[in-house]
C-alpha cells in the first residue's frame, strides 16, 4: 500500500516502511462473543455480544494496525476464541461483523495518513490505541471449550457462570457443573494427548490434507492482495481516495459473502471469491492504460473479492481444525499469508523486465487457490471438532447432528 512518494511501499519520511497488512485482519481481540448461545451449551444462552462484542469491534481500527505488524498476534488468538463461543448458525455473521472493523480501519487510515503524513508520526498514532486494548483484553473470558480440553474444567464452569450472569441467566448458569461438562465431552477428553505440537498438522492423513490445502489458499490470497496494494499509485487516482475506495468495497463484498457462507457453504463461497479475484486481476492486463476508470474498477473488484476470501478462510480454517490444534493451524495459515506478502514485492520487481508477468502471476495465484479449495471438506452447519480423531472420522462418515452441541441443564427423562 502506498501512501506517499514514488516507492509503492513507502509512506513518507526518509525511510520506506513496508506495510504489513492489507490483510483483512479481524482485530476483535480475544473477544468471546456469542449471538444467542455458545456452541457447546446453547440452552444457557450465554450471549456476550451486547457487553463484549461492540466495544472492540467499533473502536479498533485493524487496517491502521497494518503498518505496525503486531496486529496479527491478537488476530490469531482472537478469531478462534470468537468462533468457539459462537453457535454454529451464527459464526458467519459474527466473523463478518468483526471483519467490518478492519474495513472501517482501512477507510480511517486514509484520513489519518492525510492528516499525519510523516510515517514515524503515523506509526505512533496508530500504535497508541493498542495500549488501551491491552488493558481491555484482560477482562475478556477464555474459551470454555479450550479450558475443558486443557483439564481446567473448574475454570470453564466459572467462565460459563460468569457469562450466564452477565446475560441475566444466573440460575441456569449455576446448574452447570464439572460433571455435566465432562460427561458431554467424555469422548473428546478420552482421545486427548498430553501435549500437541506443529507436527500434529501433518501426522494424520485428513488433517495433513487440510493443512496443505489451506497453506496454499492463505499464501495465494495474501500474495495477490499485496500485489494489488503495491499498484495503487498506478491507477491515476489520489492515493488517499483509492485507499478509501479500496476500503469501502469491502462492505458489499463481505455482505455478499456472508450470505453465501450461511446458505451456499464455506467451500463454494471461497472458491467463487478466489476465482473472481483472479479473473479481475488477469482482465486488467488487457485493459489499455488510458482507460483508468475501468482499470480502477477491475482492481477494486479484485480487492473486494480477496477481502471476501479472507473472511471465508478465517472462518473456514477455525472450523476445519480441531480445538487442540486450532490455534496452531490458524497461526501457520497466517504465517503462509505473511510469506505471500514477502514474495509479492519480489515478483513486482520483475515488472521492469517483464511488464505482464507480475499481474499474470497475481491473477493466476487465486485461480489455483480456488481449485485447491475444492478439495477441502464442507463445514456448513457442522459443529466444531474437538479432537483430531473426530476430524479423521468425519471424513469417513456422513455428518449428523452432534449431541455435544447441547448440554441439558436439567435431568432428562429416560424413554420407557
Angle between helices 91-115 and 119-127 (to 10 degrees): 140
Mean pLDDT of the region 381-398: 84
Whole-prediction pTM: 0.71
Mean pLDDT of the region 279-303: 90
pLDDT confidence of residue 19: 37
pLDDT confidence of residue 168: 86
61 has pLDDT over 70: no
pLDDT confidence of residue 410: 45
pLDDT confidence of residue 28: 38
406 has pLDDT over 90: no
Q: What is the per-residue pLDDT across 314-338, written as a single tens digit (0 to 9) for each?
A: 999 999 999 889 889 999 999 999 9
293 has pLDDT over 50: yes
Q: What is the per-residue pLDDT across 94-130, written as a single tens digit (0 to 9) for each?
A: 888 888 887 888 888 888 988 998 888 988 998 888 8
If pLDDT is split at 50, 70 and 90, which confidence band does 173 have?
confident
d(CA 413, CA 315): 37
Q: What is the per-residue pLDDT across 141-159, written as a single tens digit (0 to 9) for each?
A: 788 877 887 778 888 888 8
50 has pLDDT over 60: no
If pLDDT is split at 50, 70 and 90, which confidence band does 191 have?
low
Percentage of the chain with pLDDT > 90? 29
pLDDT confidence of residue 317: 95
Torsion, Cα of 241, 275, 222, 3 (10° steps):
-10
Amino acid at each position: 500500500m502506498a501512501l506517499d512518494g514514488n516507492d509503492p511501499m513507502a509512506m513518507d519520511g526518509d525511510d520506506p516502511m513496508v506495510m504489513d497488512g492489507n490483510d483483512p485482519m479481524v482485530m476483535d481481540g480475544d473477544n468471546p462473543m456469542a449471538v444467542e448461545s455458545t456452541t457447546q451449551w446453547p440452552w444457557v444462552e450465554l450471549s456476550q455480544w451486547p457487553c463484549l462484542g461492540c466495544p472492540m469491534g467499533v473502536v479498533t481500527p485493524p487496517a491502521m494496525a497494518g503498518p505496525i505488524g503486531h496486529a496479527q498476534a491478537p488476530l490469531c488468538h482472537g478469531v478462534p476464541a470468537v468462533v468457539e463461543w459462537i453457535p454454529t448458525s451464527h459464526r458467519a455473521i459474527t466473523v463478518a461483523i468483526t471483519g467490518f472493523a478492519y474495513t472501517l480501519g482501512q477507510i480511517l487510515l486514509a484520513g489519518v495518513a492525510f492528516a499525519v503524513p510523516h510515517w514515524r508520526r503515523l506509526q505512533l498514532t496508530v500504535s497508541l490505541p493498542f495500549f488501551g486494548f491491552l488493558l481491555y483484553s484482560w477482562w475478556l473470558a477464555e474459551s470454555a471449550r479450550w479450558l475443558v480440553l486443557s483439564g481446567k474444567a473448574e475454570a470453564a464452569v466459572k467462565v460459563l457462570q460468569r457469562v450466564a450472569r452477565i446475560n441475566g441467566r444466573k440460575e441456569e448458569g449455576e446448574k452447570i457443573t464439572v460433571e455435566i461438562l465432562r460427561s458431554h465431552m467424555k469422548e473428546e477428553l478420552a482421545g486427548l494427548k498430553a501435549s500437541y505440537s506443529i507436527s500434529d498438522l501433518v501426522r494424520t492423513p485428513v488433517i495433513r490434507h487440510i493443512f496443505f490445502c489451506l497453506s496454499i489458499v492463505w499464501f495465494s490470497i495474501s500474495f495477490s492482495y499485496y500485489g494489488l496494494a503495491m499498484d495503487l499509485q498506478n491507477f491515476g487516482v489520489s492515493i488517499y481516495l483509492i485507499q478509501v475506495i479500496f476500503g469501502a468495497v469491502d462492505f458489499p463484498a463481505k455482505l455478499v459473502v456472508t450470505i453465501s457462507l450461511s446458505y451456499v457453504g464455506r467451500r463454494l463461497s471461497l472458491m467463487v471469491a478466489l476465482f473472481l479475484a483472479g479473473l479481475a486481476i488477469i482482465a486488467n492486463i488487457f485493459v489499455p492504460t488510458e482507460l483508468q476508470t475501468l482499470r480502477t474498477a477491475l482492481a477494486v473488484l479484485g480487492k473486494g473479492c480477496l477481502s471476501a476470501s479472507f473472511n471465508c478462510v478465517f472462518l473456514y480454517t477455525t472450523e476445519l481444525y480441531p480445538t487442540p490444534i486450532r490455534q496452531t493451524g490458524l497461526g501457520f495459515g497466517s504465517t503462509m499469508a505473511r510469506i505471500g506478502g514477502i514474495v509479492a514485492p519480489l515478483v513486482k520487481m520483475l515488472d521492469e523486465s517483464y511488464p505482464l508477468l507480475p499481474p499474470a502471476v497475481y491473477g493466476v495465484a487465486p485461480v489455483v487457490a480456488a481449485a485447491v479449495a475444492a478439495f477441502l471438506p464442507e463445514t456448513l452447519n457442522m459443529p466444531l471438532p474437538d479432537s483430531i480423531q473426530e476430524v479423521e472420522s468425519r471424513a469417513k462418515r456422513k455428518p449428523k447432528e452432534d449431541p455435544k452441541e447441547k448440554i441439558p441443564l436439567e435431568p432428562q427423562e429416560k424413554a420407557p
